[in-house]
Structure 1
Amino acid sequence: MRKTKLWSGLTSISAVVLVVALTGYNLAAANASYINSALGISTTRVVETGEKAQDTTYYKSQFGAFDDPKAQEKAIEAALLQNVNEMREGAALLMNEKNALPMATETKISVFGHGAVDPAYQANSAGTRVHTGDFNAIDLRTALETQGFEVNGELWNGLLNGKASRGELKKDFAGQMEVVGNGSATGSEENKAFYEKYQKTFGDYNDAAIVVLTREGAEGTDLLMKDKDDEGGSTEPISSLALHKNERDLLEMVRDNFDKVVVLLNSPYQMEVHEIRKYADAILFIGYPGHQGFTGVAEILRGVVNPSGRLVDTYATNSLSAPAVVNSGTDTPKFSNADEITSTLGEDENAEYMSFQAENIYLGYRYYETRYADAVMGQGNATAAVGALPGADSWNYADEVQYPFGYGLSYTTYEEHLDSVEIGDDQITAKVTVKNTGDVAGKHAVQLYAQTPYGDYEKEHQVEKSAIALIGFGKTGELQPGDSETITVTADKYLLASYDTTAHEGEGGYILSDGDYYLAVGSDVHDALNNILAAQGYTTQDGMTADGDSTKSYKWAETFDDEKYQNGADGSVVQNQFADCDLNYWVEGAGTYLSRSDWENTFPVEQTTVDATKDMMDVLDGEWYEKPEDAPTFDEVASRFGVDSGLNLASMKDVPITDTETWEQFIHQLKVEDLPNATAESFESPAVGDLSPSFGVGDGCDSNQGKYPIKTTVNGEEVEIPTTRYCSNPILTGTFNYDLIANRGTMMGEDGIWSHFMINYCIGNDLHRTPFGGRNFEYMSECPTMNYLAGAAEVEAMQKTGCNAAPKHFVGNDQEFYRDGVACFFNEQAFREGNLRAFEGSVRVAKSGGIMQSYSRLGLKWNSASFALNTQVLRNEWGWTGAIDTDAAPCFDKYVDGGYRNHAAEVLAAGTQEWCLDGVAGHGNWVLNKAKETDDGHLLSLLEKAAISWEYAISRSVITNGYSSTAVIEHITPWWSTAIRAIAICAGFLTAFFLVMLITSGRRTGKENARKD
């Protein structure tokens, strides 16, 4: 009896272990890419089967061999230098009363602000994480002391032990527990009582006070438009970008106790600086510094470096004054019948929220400067009170804007002279001479702007025009006092074209307007606009903020032309593709777009929302793919596979994508069952049959979260060296330095090839639609042209290294709250001249190797399932050949998980080819099974195209290193897989053995009981 119980218990235990092992194995297999990435396991290796005579290191580091410690050291040094140089040239000096900076002689300083001891080196998203004390990280105190400053240690240590916090304890993007920004500034600064405890220490460190103010968003988190004030402050909601009570109290105390107050804005989000200016002598915008950007900050404060950075965003007096604010971020409205939508489609379709982009093309400076120009010219009801500061009876630029796009001070002065302008058929060339007229050496950014006609045709056809737009820039070298340098700025004439949805009898297209065009240089966008207005005869008597200089402008005329930019790549016609993304397409008259023809009656003052009709819900549902009537059978397409053509990865590295026959021969060597592997992009992407190995990918707009191959020793322990976190992108673009921007691309590429990454999902090309966008720190600017130009420079450089550049998030990811499925409505002109142009430089011009898409919907369709976007524009109009990847969309079981990201057939049919963070059992596998079930050869052929695109990207990367024409891939089973299977086998044997013993014991017990009876 006892033995029977024993065998019964052991059988149960071993059976449970068997079930757990089998279940665990299936789950682990589905998530193999995540596990292998976390454990640093490669599941393939390249084996040479012939005599390897050729050099197969096709992509080399400029610093030396990948196994050379000295070469790795040089690579790291160069990356950190790039980080510091970005801050040296990108930090923008906004205010410098009585030459408060540089602090050439001051020594003893007190540093205030929770952000001083707990700065935001970066916000929470993809990329290398940096904390104070990390390997290669330099904190503010260390940087200041290196420059000879003595820091008030008692105050600093007190701040280290303070209670202020910018967020909440939760998992960051990398899965580590830490305090992550929650979009609020409440409680982010110590209160007045805290600082009063250290007031006695101020006297010994009173040469100057430095105050660090920090704001932090994150992936998934916008800054709050309606934030709570600190205890004792306003009882009404305030902007998270406004000063909160504790910050105001701190600034008042510092102002009362110090003769010199310097404020550092550790925030890539435009804080409301008007109140800060009351207390500060100097304000320096530093964004997020990355690993060693604080070195550049300290050098600027000391005067070792002369600041030359410029703002890439408008700093408005009221952060809520932009017209884009009303329907975005934390104020994004729901459809009026959101409950009905959810009950009809299911909650997992994420179809509740809508964002009507009423601002039209008027985003950032294109709003503030255009309204200013119209106010000066006395047109469009520009001075009406609507949109003005609360309580104002009219709109006045000087009240509305604190610092314009392109603004930045220096420790010296410069003089610009527009030497010449040449207007060619396709390009504009301007030569500008810059002279250093001060007594300190420094660099100067040249900014070239344009104005295009806004006449009767444009008003009649609703073609909106910004009064001014950036079209090019350049930067001098370091000019000694009295020295001059001539900068040549070239610009594509295409950037002067406007999209007209009514052109070509309603088919749409780009036009060059008829009339007078202007170019101008200026110290910022507002200065350049004043120079144009001066050329047009306007003065301060007309309401200008200052008299412009007409000699810094140039005028010429063009005639109407709707043919010059009518065709895209290979003769494709550029025409309307996004009519159904306009809310008025679905509900007539539902939305009004802002127009400079009537600012008063078109400015958005309340949220726009509608009931989604049945037709709208049918599209929101996301199911639209149908098997084509002429689709081949599954077997017809499948029969092409499994044919050895003798081609390997080395054979394909120079084969152009246009050689369709060779690429198909290469891909057809696969088994059909291997095709899903080519659609599963992850941090450890799987091997694709015997064609390509497993490899890692990078992710991050200002770093790639990679590791260098050779470890180092720290405190007697071997550790991996992370790749560098560079400055936040508004600092990079704020350098206005093509060479420095391009070198970011080079170094990101170097980081990629040292980490052995095929691709890095980087280059943040989305726009700062509002100051509150959670990922504004990753994205370049509010200006589509800046993103176009800077993105092209960075991508072109990165592509040369052997690590593919993949801009993100394509396209229109300008908010984090409700980003999952928010329906964005816009008109096509605004979309093409804004969101699309912001990516066009990186993608069409520089030919990036990939892109990552966004979570939002274009109108009613998820970006990844938009045929208009991913095929008509990307492939046809732009002629782009890279790999199209969703944002994170893992799918383990379509029918269990559901959700708008899981319409796999629609996504593939739209032109998207990879699913981010997916596994081999995910979307691609579902499509393969669906193709089999429905006998749909067309669906199978889409998997084939996806595989070609993926393999093409691989063939242009460092992953080809080591491949000769006789090399083959050997597959390796990871140890964890072997271990789980071994456990399952052992558990199976034991279960069987124990079961036999249980049965045998049971029979014996039965016989014994029978004898007793």
Structure 2
Amino acid sequence: MKSLIIKSPTISARSIKALLFKVIFLGIFMFKMKPLSDKINTIDFYVGGTIMVNQLIGVPLEGFAEFSRKVAADGAVLLKNDKQVLPITNGEKVAVFGRVQKNYYRSGTGSGGSVHVSYTTNLIDSLRAKSEIHVDEQLASIYDDWIEENPFDDGGGGWAAEPWHQQEMPLTDEIVKQSQAVADKAIVVIGRTAGEDQDNAHEVGSYLLTEEEKSMLKQVTTYFDKVAVVLNTSNIIDTSWLKDYSVQGLIYTWHGGMEGGRAAADVLVGDVTPSGKLTDTVAYAIEDYPSHENYGSDTCNIYQEDIYVGYRYFETFAPDKVQFPFGYGLSYTTFSYSEHTANTVNIDNQAYINVSVKVTNTGSYSGKEAVQVYVEAPQGELGQPLRSLVAFGKTKELSPGESETLMMHVSVNSLTSYDDSGVTGYRSAYVLEAGTYYIHLGANVRETVAVSVDKDLGFIVENTRVIEQLEEALAPLKAFKRLKPGEKRSDGYYNPTYDDVPTRQISMQDRIATRLPREIAQTGDQNYKLKDVADGKVTIDTFIAQLDDAELATIVRGEGMSSPLVTPGTASAFGGVSDTLLHYGIPVGCTADGPSGIRMDSGHKSTQVPIGTLLAATWDTELVEELYVFEGKEMVRNEIDMLLGPGMNLRRHPLNGRNFEYFSEDPYITGMFAVANAKGIMKAGAHATPKHFACNSQEQSRNKVDAVVSERALRQLYLKGFEMIVKEGDARGVMTAYNPINGHWSASNYDLNTTILRGEWGFKGIVMTDWWAHMNDPIQGGEQDRRNTQHMVRAQNDLYMVVANYGAETNAMDDYSLKGLENGQLTRGELQRSARNICNFLIEAPVFNRDQVFKDSFGKLSANQAPSKEGQSLSAAGSVIPSSIGSVTFKIAESGEYRMFAALKSPGTDLSQTACNIVLNGETVATAQTNGTGGEIIKQKLQRIELEEGYYKLELDFTKPGMTIEEISFNKVN
């Protein structure tokens, strides 16, 4: 058994600070059923025998939930409001239909929604709390009784097991008639969820309404004259049914986090005037979306629509297919626009078009208005959408009659297009084609007015000019045709045509060979610590020179999930994950899911905020930045360095199950909210990790479906938000996607991670894989494998996430980093480059300034008095088999310190995730966590615990169901 013990007489305060580590109650080590001594590596940290514990871990940040309620209300999107059905006004009585009034969704499923909260809210109870209105309690009680007999179906609680919708209570005419006799208005609540590893489907109960939901709408609209539908969904769903029912109101309240129920009630009763607007186009039918024809393959997803995603397609080719346009959203009040002007200015040697407009509240409610600016570029040689969003702004809350002048800045560089073919005469360059660029300003993409620029009709470019000359990168290998505007129709729109997509011309082998980093001559241990680099005493290269090849291969491995080295239940530990790396003062960084709140599978509580869909629908980046200052503070409180978010892939198709984590179909609004997210977290002292880099447009077969996409579409759409968060948000971490892009898996894609991210954008942080990702050869492509870390490092994806806990130093995954070094697939300089990236990041991370210690022990637990029925007796070693109800009583015959192990299995896939707390005498003493084991029993090392002679009751608390624990072992520590 290997052990590193540091005691107070031999450790300085500086060393403690540099070596970090935290007290937690959990340690996990996964391995097949082999002798335990072959695999165990214990690391014990203590100072003077005292365990230092952060008592605030798992304590939600004060005021965070309350602020998230405000944000959730601001993101509600009102799409229809005939007869002023909303708001519900003073003295009115409302009948609420639909089970989701009680089983209100707060987030999607998977890692983006797995947040343990101290409470949650629903709509019906939140409406009841509004003293100014009245709820039909008789109807509510009918729902309460039915829901008690038909409880919420979580699919067994396993990974991606929860169904998209819940069974709806059948209504009778008598129930509806009784309610209509006492209520003034009806609210119908329809809910949907979606999530990781499970796309939505073009089926009833997912994108489409169920027959029960349709029947509910028919019955309610038959008896009520005023009916509003509340959509508590993670993403847009089909709303073509509006034509079939007399529905006066329609509002998306989305998933608003733990305060979502209260936020929705705030909007419905008019305490908050809705000011959200769509960040997607709502078409009449799923088949109308341009990506639909090529969506859902298990192997190859061709992005034939090219840059014409969402409104860029509909406003150019098919405006008649749109039910609700991009940027659309109503209010309880009305606004007028006046005094709109535009002029060109130079700011810091950059050309901008300043667009100004006076917004006046002309209605009777206070409210906010989001104003949008679009450009109509000349078609030129490249072809262009008729509209592209280039700026937006949002007023403060304006009282009736009050005005505010908004100033929005449009960078002239944002009007450029990428020429990947050379048709303009400038291949591999961002160009500004000659012609007039018309500026449109308005309330949504459809309701706009043209604004003159410097008294001209638009911004005039006399001659085509290069704004940024780059080089070919990420061009596809596969030939295909892409959409482009053809002949202009009499109605001003275009007929579609197609042209060939340029394919790769460069040699990837030559590119990599000519750009290899230099190797640093290895020196061995010179007694330099990472703190010496931070203090300027030695260079980072001098420090890295100390690491031998095994240490270099270790540092590019992260451990998790629920690592014992970091905050309980979090996603990974990285950096100083071995004795020798710790010796050099490399701290252990901590990452945690996710975009909607901190995920801790140990059951520790945090604040769950609204989903990305809702955040972007606020059109208020300042508000969202302030929200993520709270998020950053809660991260620092929980000793977490990196939040695995924001999610920022484009919502290319409505059925992507993970759309709820993302912001929009538009790259500019995606980038703006990603920047707000990153800035907020960094203001609080922590870091964001934008994901999934790039083109994660479907969850089905997400670890193998190839995104075949043009270089132009990649640069202008799918990478643009990432570019913005790096350049404007100063993001220091990036997570790559599971999928390949043009034949090369994202985690080992050289052009993605080195040529573009670091070379063109100047990114200085660390790049990590998604958890248990696959990689292939960045030169040859070909077969992919999780063990291909040599290809990962070559691409400058620095960290493999994750190997088993205690497995980084022992190479538990048997990866190929060192083999690649031996056979020439990897150079030492490339490994050293990734080590440098990781260490430089850790110097800037919160962990570098924390005084922390780690002790791989729960401490002492008192025994119970003898129970009425004695259980199994354990002496120096033995195992306890929990009963079918997950508990058992046993006796410890000899006091002392014991090491715990768990034998467990999970039938899930290799990407599924489950967790279980181990509880002794009412105290949570450890957490077992695993992804799917295919039903095979594995053994995990947990932590040590000091037990008195006596009786103990062992219970299992499954915080993420799907796991079966066969036995818990207690081995006496000598």
TM-score, L = length of structure 2: 0.74
CA 1:205–1:838: 2 relative to 1, 3 Å: farther
Q: How many residues align?
A: 792
Question: What letter matches 2:193 in structure 1?
Answer: E
Once the two structures are TM-superposed, the CA of residue 102 in structure 1 deviates from its matched residue by: 0.9
Distance 1:730 1:551, change over 3 A: farther
Change (3 A) 1:632 1:143: closer
- Name the structure 2 match of 1:501: 420
C-alpha displacement at 1:87, in angstroms? 1.6
Measure the CA separation in 2 of the matches of 1:982 and 1:307: 51
With structure 1 as the length reference, what TM-score do the two structures score?
A: 0.71
Task: Please state how far the C-alpha of 1:845 moved relative to its aligned partner.
Answer: 2.2
Match of 1:138 among 87, 96, 121: 121
Equivalence map 1:912-931=2 (5 Å):
912-919=797-804, 920=808, 921-922=810-811, 926-931=815-820
- Counterpart position of 2:90: 105
Matched, 1:404 2:325: yes
Partner of 2:403: 484
Question: Mean alpha-carbon deviation: is it higher for 405-414 or for 252-261?
Answer: 252-261
In structure 1, the residue matched to 2:839 is: 951
Identity in percent: 25
Change (3 A) 1:25 1:111: farther
Equivalent pair of 2:595/2:645 in contact (CA under 8 Å):
yes
Change in 2 beyond 3 A, CA 1:792/1:629: closer
State which of 593, 598, 603 in structure 1 corresponds to 2:483: 593
Structure 2 residue identity aligned to 1:917: V
Task: Say if 2:379 is the partner of 1:454.
Answer: yes
From 195, 200, 220, give the equivalent of 1:218. 195
- Deviation (angstroms), 1:674: 2.8
- Out of 390, 406, 423, the position equivalent to 2:344 is 423
Query: CA offset at residue 124 of structure 1?
Result: 1.0
If asked which structure has higher relative contact order (CA below 8 Å, sep 6+), I would say 1
**CA distance, structure 2, for counterparts of residue 551 and residue 369 of structure 1:** 27
C-alpha distance in 2 between matches for 1:827 and 1:888: 27
Please give the per-residue CA displacement for 1:37-80, whole angstroms capped at 9, x wherever unaligned: xxxxxx575879xxxxxxxxxxxxxxxx97689xx98x723211
Q: Measure how far apart 1:426 and its partner are.
A: 2.7
Partner of 1:437: 362
Aligned position for 1:190: 168
Q: Match for residue 157 of structure 1?
A: 144
Mapping of 1:438-837 within 5 angstroms?
A: 438-455=363-380, 458=381, 463-503=382-422, 507-528=427-448, 531-532=449-450, 555-566=458-469, 574-581=470-477, 583-584=478-479, 590-597=480-487, 602=497, 639-645=522-528, 647-649=529-531, 651-653=532-534, 662-681=539-558, 682=560, 683-686=571-574, 687-688=576-577, 689-690=581-582, 691-706=585-600, 722-837=605-720
1:979 aligned to 2:899? yes
Quote the residue 1:375 is aligned against: none
Task: Give yes or no for contact 1:453–1:515 (8 Å, CA) kept in 2.
Answer: yes
Structure 1 gaps, min length 5: 1-18, 33-42, 49-64, 174-178, 231-239, 335-352, 373-396, 536-549, 567-573, 585-589, 708-718, 985-1013
The alignment status of 1:206 with 2:183, answered yes or no, reads yes
Q: Give the structure 2 partner of residue 126 of structure 1.
A: 111
Shift of 1:886: 0.9
Could you say what secondary structure the match of 1:169 adopts? coil
1:142 maps to amino acid: D
Give 1:854 deviation, angstroms: 0.8
Change (3 A) 1:401 1:793: same
Matched to 1:773, the amino acid is N
1:282 shift after superposition? 0.9
Query: Which residue of 232, 240, 245 corresponds with 1:274?
Result: 240
User: CA contact under 8 A between 1:91 and 1:731: conserved in structure 2?
Assistant: yes
Residues 957-984 of structure 1: CA deviation (Å, up to 9, x unaligned): 2102236xxxx98886899998279999
Change (3 A) 1:873 1:551: closer
Matches within 5 A, 1:54-133: 76-127=61-112, 129=114
Question: Aligned in 2, Cα 1:953/1:846: closer, same or farther, shift over 3 Å?
Answer: same
Query: How big is each residue's C-alpha offset from its partner over 1:668-723, in whole Å with a ceiling of 9 and x where there is no partner?
Result: 3445433334222342415241222334311112212149xxxxxxxxxxx97521
**Which whole-Å CA distance do the structure 2 matches of 1:189 and 1:410 have between them?**
32
**Match for 2:828: what amino acid?**
L
More off after superposition, 680-689 vs 313-322: 680-689
Q: Secondary structure at the match of 2:468?
A: coil
Aligned equivalents of 1:980, 1:105: Cα separation in 2? 60
Whether 1:364 aligns to 2:335 is: no
Task: Give the corresponding residue for 1:35.
Answer: none
1:161 and 1:924 map into 2 onto residues whose CA distance is: 47
Cα distance in 2 for partners of 1:981, 1:294 equals: 41
8 Å contact 1:805–1:848 — kept in the other structure? yes
Give structure 2 stretches of 5+ with no counterpart: 1-30, 489-493, 561-570, 778-782, 860-876, 878-896, 904-938, 940-974
Contact 1:729 1:779 in 2 (8 A): yes
Partner of 1:907: 792
The structure whose residues are more often strand, as a share, is 2
Superposed displacement of residue 421, structure 1: 1.8
Task: Find the counterpart in structure 2 of residue 942 from structure 1.
Answer: 830
Question: Which whole-Å CA distance do the structure 1 matches of 2:302 and 2:56 have between them?
Answer: 55
Q: Is the 8 A contact 2:234 2:659 kept in 1?
A: yes
Query: Alpha-carbon deviation of 1:628?
Result: 6.6
Shift of 1:161: 3.5
The question of 1:298 aligning with 2:265 is answered: yes
Query: CA 1:926 to 1:403, structure 2 compared with 1: closer, same or farther past 3 Å?
Result: same
Contact 1:706/1:722 (<8 A) preserved: yes
What pairs up with 1:241-252 in 2 under 5 angstroms?
A: 241-252=207-218
Tell me, in whole angstroms, the C-alpha distance in 1 between the residues paired with 2:40 and 2:617. 45
Mapped contact 2:789–2:800 kept (Cα < 8 A):
no
> Whole-Å Cα distance in 2 between the matches of residues 481 and 257 of structure 1?
35
Q: Where does residue 850 of structure 1 map in the other structure?
A: 733
2:328 and 2:709 mapped to 1: Cα distance? 30
Letter of the structure 2 residue corresponding to residue 262 of structure 1: A
Which amino acid is 1:160 matched to? I
Indicate conservation of the 8 Å contact 1:447/1:524, yes or no.
yes
CA distance in 2, matches of 1:629, 1:593: 36
Question: Against the structure 1 CA distance between its residues 282 and 249, is the aligned structure 2 distance closer, same or farther, given a 3 Å change threshold?
Answer: same
Distance (Å, rounded) in 2 between the aligned partners of 1:268 and 1:323: 21
Is the CA contact 1:500–1:510 (under 8 Å) kept in the aligned structure 2? yes
Structure 1 residues 597, 637: closer, same or farther in 2, change over 3 A?
same
Residue type matched to 1:254 in 2? V
Letter in 2 for 1:251: L
Write out per-residue CA displacement over residues 583-608 of structure 1, whole angstroms, 9 at most, x where no aligned residue: 31xxxxx444354558656489xxx9
Residue 908 of structure 1: CA displacement?
1.1
Deviation by residue 1:304-350 (Cα, 9 ceiling, x = unmatched) = 11111111111111122111011113xx2x6xxxxxxxxxxxxxxxx
Structure 2: distance between partners of 1:76 and 1:627 = 47
The Cα of 1:484 is off from its aligned counterpart by 0.9
Task: Evaluate the alpha carbon distance shift between residue 261 and residue 944 of structure 1 in structure 2; reply closer, same or farther with a 3 A threshold.
Answer: same
Whichever structure has more helix as a proportion of its residues is 1
Structure 1 position 470, deviation (Å): 1.1
CA contact (8 A) 1:25 1:981 kept: no
Instruction: Using the TM superposition, give the Cα deviation of residue 497 of structure 1 relative to its aligned residue in structure 2, in angstroms.
Output: 0.6
What is residue 181 of structure 1 aligned with on the other side?
163
